[in-house]
Structure 1
Amino acid sequence: MEATEIVSRDPEVMNGALVFAGTRVPVEVLVEYLAAGDSLDEFLEAIPTVSREQAVAYLKLTPEAVEEAAGLAGSAR
């Protein structure tokens, strides 16, 4: 799945927040659900406009983005 199929950012959609592509659902909502102890299934049931594939792909991208931002990309774990 391409990054553009997972998330998007547009200043005219949700004030430029990072959202799941094709929706108005900020990715932060998924993070908040998980941080509160809710499951991915609970999130998907509550927010049916986000596909399981999008949510899982976003969660897989997140560690890579953190490593890149911290300058750790390509380093041994």
Structure 2
Amino acid sequence: MTAPPPGPYQHLAEEFERRLRTLQEAGEFVDPRVAQVERLTAKVAELKERLAQRDEAIAELTTFKELAVSRLSTQYD
């Protein structure tokens, strides 16, 4: 590993390097790109589910509106 750059946050860089080495030695190191892809994939699935629920609610409300307008029109005639 390269030495952390000098600066006001050097202690954070050193802590990061230490934790990274510990994870690599334990064999538990997860590539951050893979972790990000998995996290984003889960988020996309969640958003698709929310979108499907919203579309279903809109369809139900549209049907209800059409029925209500039809009944009001029938009553008015």
Give the alignment's TM-score, normalised by structure 2: 0.27
**Structure with the largest fraction of helix:** 2
Which of the pair has more CA radius of gyration?
2
Larger RCO of the pair (alpha carbons < 8 Å, separation 6+): 1
More strand by share: 1
Normalised to the residue count of structure 1, the TM-score between the two structures is 0.27
